[in-house]
């Protein structure tokens, strides 16, 4: 299968090429696509070098699927052009996520909504993906009423410029700033721009995307998203209130058997999820499972995942895998 990766030279695009190779997606030809300034550069896929081509040349190559990670404005302009050429687009930007005509998909949760007619498919926000993978099996059993989530997000979620800022600060070197403030030895309680309601765009993404993916607008979600000086891996403290009573051992059992979830929950040995352990892995790791003692039917949990993999590249590739397995590609 001919596969295009749009934004192939960026952090997520590079990770997409890596994940396609590692998961042995049946690629007959890879078509790396990027902006005009990157055309002619080389990227590596399975030990071979490929020259980056322009958007127009990417369409002309007629890939079966194009996995986009090139920013919202690029997706709004080019995804429809790829789709018009009969190419299935899986888009990692925020451009199409809340479009009512487009599907927003996490394969472990709602892949069954996809049809052959879906030519532009939205990949959710990284912080939303890991949370819904962990919570969906619990929602099916106990029905979620309300979620309170605080995130601890890696600088890789911002991109290479932010990673460079962190390491420059660590070395005492002046350099370009991705953030308004120092990130090393600091915590920044802002991800994306502020909206009129006082929440950031990232926080409201988590609210709206959770409802759309799980398919239940009655679930109340409130979020605080925070950037921390970590490279590779988002962490989340999640407090979830159910309509029905739960049993903690049953919760552990449900999570242990849920697709894409790994439970790391042993207080005696101080075993719990951390970005250090989630790095370069595709699963969502869950631990610190405990009852909220301040109100009934409420659970606390800690959720960690590699934001460049499951939070972006892996989820997009898994969508392509699902489409192929159902004969939709």
In sign, the C-alpha dihedral spanning 213, 215, 219, 220 is: positive
| Order of strands, sheet of 284-291, starting from the edge strand that comes earlier in the sequence | 220-227, 144-153, 234-242, 298-305, 284-291, 261-263
Told to judge if 241 belongs to the known catalytic residues of this protein, a careful annotator would answer no
Q: State how far Cα 312 lies from the chain centre.
A: 4
Answer yes or no: are the C-beta atoms of 306 and 287 closer than 8 Å.
Answer: no
Cα–Cα distance for residue pair 88/3, rounded to 1 Å: 10
Cα–Cα distance for residue pair 175/75, rounded to 1 Å: 30
Answer yes or no: are the C-beta atoms of 103 and 122 closer than 8 Å.
Answer: yes
| Residues in CB range of 140: below 8 A, 6 or more apart | none
Answer yes or no: are the C-beta atoms of 220 and 145 closer than 8 Å.
Answer: yes
Nearest to 155 by CA among 124, 125, 184, 123: 184
Say which of 15, 103, 234, 309 is annotated catalytic.
Answer: 234
Nearest to 125 by CA among 103, 92, 86: 92
Instruction: State both tokens at 258.
Output: 């849920």
Answer yes or no: are the C-beta atoms of 7 and 33 closer than 8 Å.
Answer: yes
Told to judge if 126 belongs to the known catalytic residues of this protein, a careful annotator would answer yes
Answer yes or no: are the C-beta atoms of 4 and 67 closer than 8 Å.
Answer: yes
Say which of 111, 126, 255, 316 is annotated catalytic.
Answer: 126
309 burial level (CB within 10 Å; 0-12, 13-18, 19+): buried
Q: State how far Cα 296 lies from the chain centre.
A: 31
Q: State how far Cα 228 lies from the chain centre.
A: 17
Active site residues: 126, 234
């Amino acid at each position: 299968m001919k596969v295009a990766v749009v934004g192939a030279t960026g952090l997520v695009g590079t990770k997409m090429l890596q994940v396609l190779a590692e998961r042995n997606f049946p690629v007959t030809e890879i078509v790396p696509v990027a902006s005009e300034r990157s055309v002619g550069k080389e990227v590596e896929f399975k030990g071979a070098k490929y020259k980056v081509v322009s958007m127009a040349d990417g369409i002309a190559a007629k890939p079966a699927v194009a996995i986009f990670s090139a920013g919202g404005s690029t997706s709004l302009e080019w995804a429809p052009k790829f789709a018009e050429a009969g190419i299935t687009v899986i888009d990692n930007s925020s451009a199409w996520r809340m479009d009512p005509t487009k599907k927003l998909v996490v394969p472990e949760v709602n892949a069954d909504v996809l049809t052959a007619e879906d030519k532009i498919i939205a990949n959710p926000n990284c912080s939303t993906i890991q949370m819904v993978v962990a919570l969906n099996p619990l929602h099916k059993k106990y029905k979620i009423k309300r979620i309170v989530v605080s995130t601890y997000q890696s600088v890789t979620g911002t991109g290479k410029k932010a990673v460079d800022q962190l390491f420059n600060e660590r070395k005492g070197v002046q350099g370009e700033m991705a953030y308004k403030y120092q990130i090393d030895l600091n915590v920044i309680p802002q991800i994306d721009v502020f909206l009129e309601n006082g929440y950031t765009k990232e926080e409201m993404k988590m609210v709206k995307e959770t409802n759309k993916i799980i398919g239940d607008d009655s679930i109340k979600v409130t979020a605080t998203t925070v950037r921390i000086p970590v490279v590779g891996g988002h962490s989340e403290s999640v407090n979830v209130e159910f309509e029905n009573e739960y049993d903690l051992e049953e919760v552990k059992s449900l999570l242990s058997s849920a697709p894409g979830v790994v439970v790391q929950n042993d207080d005696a040995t101080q075993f719990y999820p951390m970005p250090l352990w989630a790095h370069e892995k595709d699963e969502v790791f869950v631990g610190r499972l405990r009852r909220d003692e301040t109100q009934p039917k409420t659970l606390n949990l800690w959720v960690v995942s590699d934001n460049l993999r499951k939070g972006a590249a892996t989820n997009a590739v898994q969508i392509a895998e699902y489409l192929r397995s159902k004969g939709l590609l």
